Amino acid sequence: MDEKPIDTLNMIPLIDIMLVLLTIVLTTSSFIATGRIPVQLPQATAAEAESSKTETIEIDAKGVVYYQGEVVAVDKLKDKIGGLDRSTPLLLRADRKVELQSFISVADVLKALKFTKVAVQTQKNA
């Protein structure tokens, strides 16, 4: 028998497999990251939770915009929330039957004012 012990191990096929796996991971992670809405959720202790209050903007089915329960026109919304700190958490609630343009108009005001903590409230399906 002419069997020789293996002196070396060919690493090239192992490197090829690792590169393929790395490519798959990077490709899927970019798809996952693209589908997310960039929202930074506030982190607060009990003391901070009392000082930072969530401001609420609501849009009913007819497209009427409410800020903290008061009716406000979209063009006046900028004046109402313009004095707030940009890190103030905002909650945007819209009726499911509202026209998309009403929602986009309010979101455009928030983006123009550069608010960083904006959440859109949804309801979980039963």
For residue 38, name the pLDDT band (cuts at 50, 70, 90).
very low
- Residue 18 scores a pLDDT above 90: yes
pLDDT the model gives residue 20: 94
What mean pLDDT is predicted for residues 4-9?
Answer: 80
Q: What angle is formed at CA 59 by the lines to CA 54 and CA 60, rounded to 5 degrees?
A: 130
Residues 6+ apart with CB under 8 A from 44: 52
Q: Which CATH number fits domain 46-120: 3.30.420.270, 3.30.1330.60, 3.30.420.40, 1.10.357.10?
A: 3.30.420.270
Report pTM: 0.55
Segment 44-72, tens digit of pLDDT: 454 343 345 788 888 888 888 888 888 89
Question: Residue 94 burial (CB < 10 Å; 0-12/13-18/19+)?
Answer: buried
